[in-house]
C-alpha cells in the first residue's frame, strides 16, 4: 500500500513534471502571435469634436436617447452638451440642463435644484459649447475596476457593457473621471456611450454624428492614415480631456480651452 508521505511526494512530482511541458503552451498563444505579426487589427475608433462648430442645439442628445433607448425623460444620458460662459470678473459659468436634450432654451444658467443664475450678455468675454461622450480610453479605468469583467474593451477600442453579467456595484461609475457612466433606469446595470457600436460595426456613423447638422462631431479610424478624422488629428492642434488621469482618452477636441471641465 502507498503511504501518505510517498503519495504526497509522487503527486507533487507529477504535478511539477506536467507543469514544465505545459509552460511551453504559452509560446503558441495565437492572440500573441497575431499581435506580434501586425498590431492585431486594422481599426481603432476615435472621435473628433470641433467645439467651434457646436451651437448647442442638442439634436445629438435627442438622437442618442432615441437610438440607444435611454428613457427620454430620465435625467441620465450617454452624451451631452455643456455651455460655458467666461465673464469679465474671471468666473466661469457652466451648465447642461437635462444634458442639453432640448438645447439651451434660456440665457440663464442652470445652477441646480430649479435655480437659475442670470448672466448678462455684456459681461461675457467668451462663450462656447462642448459636447461630451465616452472617451473610449486606451487605458480605461472602468474596465480595470469591474469586479466581474462585465465591462470590456473590444479589439477596435470601444468599451462595452455586458448587460447580462453586470452586477450593478457602481464601481465603474465611480472610476470614470468623465462622469459618462450611469445606471440604466430600465435594465438597472451600468450604461454608457459605446460610439453606437451596433452602427459603426456595420459601416454607419454614430447617431450623434448623423444628427449634428453642423459637423461638430465626427468619428474615424485612427489606424487608417487616409481617414479625414485621422488627418485632422495628426496635422492640427487637438487636445483631450483630463489627460492627467492617465486614461489616454480617444475623443479629440478642436478648440478646447483651460476652462473646460
Partner 1 sequence: MVHGEAWTLKEFFTYPNEYIYWTIQIVMYPFMTGLVAGAFVLSSLYHVFGVKELKGIARFSLVFSFALLPVAMLPLMLHLQQPQRGIEVMMTPHFTSAIAAFGIVFSTYAMIVASELWFVYRKHFVESALALRSIPQRSLGQNLGHLLFSALTLGAMDISEHAIEADERAVKKLAGAGIPVACFLHGYAGFIFGSVKANALWMTPLMPVIFICSAVVSGIALCILVYTVTMEIRKFLAARKKANYPELPSPEELKSAEVHVVTMTAKYLLMFMVAAITLELLDLIFRGYTAVKSWDILRAVIYERDFVNIFVVQYGLGNLLPFIMFLIPGVTIRRAVVGSCLVLMGVFMMRWNVVIGGQAFSSSLAGFMHYKMPIIPDSVETFKEGLFGALTVAVVPFCIFYVLNKVMPVFKETH
Between 149 and 215, whose beta carbon lies closer to partner 1? 149
Q: Which three cell numbers stand for residue 50?
A: 470641433
**Segment interacting with partner 1, rule: CB under 8 A, options 21-29, 51-59, 106-114, 213-221:** 106-114
Which residues, 172 to 191, sit near partner 1 by CB under 8 A?
173-183, 185, 188-189
Greatest pairwise CA separation for the chain in angstroms:
98
**Segment interacting with partner 1, rule: CB under 8 A, options 36-44, 146-154, 209-217, 230-238:** 146-154
Contact 182, 38 (CB under 8 A): no
Site string for partner 1, 60-79 (x = CB under 8 A): --------------xxxx--
Beta strands 45-50 and 80-87: pairing type? unpaired
State yes or no: residue 56 binds partner 1 (CB under 8 A).
no
Measured distance CA(112)–CA(101) in Å, rounded: 16
State yes or no: residue 98 binds partner 1 (CB under 8 A).
yes
Q: Which three cell numbers stand for residue 14?
A: 507529477
Bridge partner residues of 82 (DSSP): 130
State yes or no: residue 217 binds partner 1 (CB under 8 A).
no
Between 48 and 180, whose beta carbon lies closer to partner 1? 180
Rg (CA), the chain: 24
By C-alpha distance, which of 64, 71, 260, 55 is closest to 178? 260
Give the residues lining the site for partner 1 (CB under 8 A): 74-77, 80, 82, 92, 94-96, 98-99, 111-113, 132, 141, 143-150, 165-171, 173-183, 185, 188-189, 244-246, 261
Amino acid at each position: 500500500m502507498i503511504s501518505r508521505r510517498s503519495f504526497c511526494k509522487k503527486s507533487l512530482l507529477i504535478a511539477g513534471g506536467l507543469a514544465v511541458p505545459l509552460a511551453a503552451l504559452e509560446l503558441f498563444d495565437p492572440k500573441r502571435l497575431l499581435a506580434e505579426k501586425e498590431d492585431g487589427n486594422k481599426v481603432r475608433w476615435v472621435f473628433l469634436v470641433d467645439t467651434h462648430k457646436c451651437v448647442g442645439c442638442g439634436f445629438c442628445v435627442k438622437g442618442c436617447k432615441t437610438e440607444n433607448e435611454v428613457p427620454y425623460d430620465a435625467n441620465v444620458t450617454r452624451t451631452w452638451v455643456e455651455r460655458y460662459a467666461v465673464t469679465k470678473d474671471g468666473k466661469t459659468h457652466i451648465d447642461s440642463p437635462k444634458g442639453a436634450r432640448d438645447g439651451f432654451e434660456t440665457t440663464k444658467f442652470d445652477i441646480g435644484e430649479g435655480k437659475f443664475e442670470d448672466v448678462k450678455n455684456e459681461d461675457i468675454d467668451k462663450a462656447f459649447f462642448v459636447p461630451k461622450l465616452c472617451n473610449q480610453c486606451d487605458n480605461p479605468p472602468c474596465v480595470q475596476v469591474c469586479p466581474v469583467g462585465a465591462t470590456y474593451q473590444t479589439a477596435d477600442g470601444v468599451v462595452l457593457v455586458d448587460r447580462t453579467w453586470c452586477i450593478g456595484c457602481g464601481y465603474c461609475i465611480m472610476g470614470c473621471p468623465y462622469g459618462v457612466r450611469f445606471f440604466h433606469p430600465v435594465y438597472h446595470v451600468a450604461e454608457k456611450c459605446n460610439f453606437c457600436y451596433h452602427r459603426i460595426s456595420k459601416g454607419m456613423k454614430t447617431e450623434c454624428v448623423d444628427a449634428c447638422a453642423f459637423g461638430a462631431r465626427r468619428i474615424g479610424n485612427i489606424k487608417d492614415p487616409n481617414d479625414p478624422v485621422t488627418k485632422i488629428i495628426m496635422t492640427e492642434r487637438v487636445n483631450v480631456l483630463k489627460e492627467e488621469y492617465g486614461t489616454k482618452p480617444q475623443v479629440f477636441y478642436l478648440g478646447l480651452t483651460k476652462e473646460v471641465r
